[in-house]
Structure 1
């Protein structure tokens, strides 16, 4: 299945991309998505944690993905 991926903050710096088209197996979960993304962009393992949103709603690792979902990678935000 094809997903549109949006990357924000440091995840953009680590991948060199701000949007991606990613192909995953049917019935993939957010955990599968993270594994695939980290294999393709190993620098993402430098992030201790990051949130995932699917179609503008926060998702956990068990969330099932569907064809044409939009998945956002949201790293921790710091400010001052």
Structure 2
């Protein structure tokens, strides 16, 4: 396999594993939010604000991985 093939494989892994991690993280966080708001409904607004903040941070980490993968895909430093 050539270096271009390895870069394409690495880009796919970066995006795929990042998406899986972000989906699992947001799913677990949403479940815990529902459990916490069912136990103490008076804290629902405070918990919702924190949940959306963390969802944005989790999604930002995934999008940084997509940006790095696109950097390798379109301006590949390994092509000589």
Range of TM-score over shorter length:
under 0.3
Choose between structure 1 and 2: higher strand proportion: 1
Larger relative CO (CA 8 A, sep 6+): 1 or 2?
Answer: 2
TM-score, normalised to structure 1, is 0.24
Choose between structure 1 and 2: higher helix proportion: 2
TM-score, normalised to structure 2, is 0.24
